[in-house]
Amino acid sequence: MSGLTRRAALALTAGIFAARAEAAASPVHRCEDLIDAVGINVHFGHGGSPYVERFSACAAALDDLGVRHLRDDIVLMGTEPAGQFARIAELARRGYRFSLVFYDGLTPGPRVSPERFAEIADWAEDGLVVAEGGNEPPVAARPGLARLSAEHQAALFRAVRSDLRHRSVQVAGPSYIQANIAAAENLSGSVDLANVHAYPGSEHPETRGAGSLGGFLAAVRPVFGTARAIVTENGYHTALASTSAHLPVSEGMRARYLPRMLLWSYLQGVRRTYLYELIASFERGDTDPESRFGLLAHDGTASPSFAAVRGLMRLFGGRAEEAGSARDRIDVALPAGVPDLVAASFRRADGALLVPIWLGIDGWDRSARAPRPDIAPRSVEVRLSSPPRRLRLHRFGDDGSVRVSPLPPTQIPTVAASDRLAVLEVW
């Protein structure tokens, strides 16, 4: 997929609780909803790539990573279901779920006829959850392409809706980018989900600049209406010698940003965010962005970013050695008035309360292509509704590690907030 245009593109209410609070606490999200809102891009139909040549190793890495939602582009070469779909079906039987791109013939990749939806869904063995329109179709290139894209999308929507055996599959629109968004037709009647590619370039995840997630979401509203959005591609590359307009970050900065990106995207209402990508599809050196998007290097070596995402998934998806259901659950009032602070609360299935806290600031000097000096941490008070039995603080590092420190079980713990994610675990 070398050379595609997509690579060149580019606080909450606080209150003070009494020992038994009667007032409503800050909104509490479910950890399992965050886990379900994380996906990653794969390419199991790309012959010669590590996805195919080292499929077993990729599958093992997915098991280790903990991300269960995968996005792939359908590549029909006349041998299915013996090729790509044999790999998809194997993963589906292991619990993985897929968004699959039905190419519209306007971009590189064999066109996938919407009329083959039922056949393709059967090949995927119940693993297909999202049928996606064309990938970044260049509809602004010449007159008539927007109509072709819209017709393909409408046919895909009809095919999915008329197939009673796969009624749970949702339909996402094409992933228009740049000038193609304005050139696209209104597809609100042919989608369940808006589709966005929201690369921030080398900006931080919470940026209000050109790479703003909110800006990307607003831009596609005229095309998809009020449909809830999925971000089918997002992430950072680390090709520090690249001259591409899509600027890089260092590996340490990517590890700092990705857990923040996934949390931020969820908190902004995005249904699911698929990181790009699991393993680098190419190895063409530090001048090539396409060789430096993978959380795994082309040879399979895990990056700090892989470890950081794995740490997030394990913390929010895991179960502790003790359960919290036997006692009253603790609620939290999140801090307000701290500049740049992002904080939220999540309830894990085992009863623990998780409070992610970070400063949504820019840590990367784009001119120097180097990290900015660290700012002084900002002291943040978290007010709990009752005294906890146990408190632990999980701090994410630029090397992908998650350092866990016990805290005194006080009802008003203080956290030193920085632009590195910290998560307070409350029992």
Q: What is the mean pLDDT of residues 190-211?
A: 98
What local confidence, expressed as pLDDT, does residue 248 receive?
98
Residue 23 has pLDDT above 80, yes or no: no
Percent of the chain topping pLDDT 90: 88
Residue 21 has pLDDT above 80, yes or no: no
Residue 1 has pLDDT above 50, yes or no: no
pLDDT tens-place string over residues 97-147:
999 999 999 998 789 999 999 999 999 999 999 999 999 999 999 999 999
What local confidence, expressed as pLDDT, does residue 323 receive?
52
Q: C-alpha distances in angstroms, 412 versus 367, 391, 426?
A: 41, 11, 11
From-to residues of CATH 2.60.40 in the chain: 323-426
CATH of 323-426, one of 2.20.25, 1.10.3470, 3.30.930, 2.60.40: 2.60.40
**What's the rounded Cα separation, in Å, for the pair 307 and 297?**
13
**What's the rounded Cα separation, in Å, for the pair 317 and 306?**
16
Beta strands in 286-377 (DSSP E): 332-333, 341-343, 345-347, 353-359, 364-365, 370-371
pLDDT tens-place string over residues 237-284:
999 999 999 999 999 999 999 999 999 999 999 999 999 999 999 999
Confidence of residue 321 (pLDDT cuts 50, 70, 90): low
Tokens encoding 145: 């392409």
CB distance 412 to 379 below 8 Å: no
State how far Cα 332 lies from the chain centre: 26
pLDDT tens-place string over residues 165-175:
999 999 999 99
Per-chain mean pLDDT for the chain = 92
Confidence of residue 320 (pLDDT cuts 50, 70, 90): low
Q: Which helix (H) or strand (E) holds 283?
A: none
Per mean pLDDT, which range of 62-71, 136-145, 319-328 is the poorest?
319-328
Q: What is the mean pLDDT of residues 391-413?
A: 98
What local confidence, expressed as pLDDT, does residue 2 receive?
38
What local confidence, expressed as pLDDT, does residue 25 receive?
52
What local confidence, expressed as pLDDT, does residue 328 receive?
67
Q: What is the mean pLDDT of residues 311-326?
A: 75
Q: Which helix (H) or strand (E) holds 272?
A: strand 272-275
Global pTM reads 0.93
Residue 389 has pLDDT above 80, yes or no: yes
CB distance 385 to 342 below 8 Å: no
Q: What is the mean pLDDT of residues 182-188?
A: 98
pLDDT tens-place string over residues 327-364:
568 999 998 899 999 999 999 999 999 999 999 999 99
* Topology given in CATH for the domain delimited by 31-315: TIM Barrel (3.20.20)
Of 197, 298, 303, which Cα lies nearest the Cα of 249? 303
Residue 402 has pLDDT above 60, yes or no: yes
From-to residues of CATH 3.20.20.80 in the chain: 31-315
The label of the residue with tokens 């530090």 reads 286
CB distance 388 to 409 below 8 Å: yes
Angle at 341 between CA 370 and CA 413, to 5 degrees: 115
Residue 4 has pLDDT above 50, yes or no: no
Which stretches within 29-116 are classed as H helix? 31-36, 50-53, 55-65, 84-93
Per mean pLDDT, which range of 145-159, 297-311, 313-327 is the poorest?
313-327
Percent of the chain topping pLDDT 70: 92
Residue 177 has pLDDT above 80, yes or no: yes
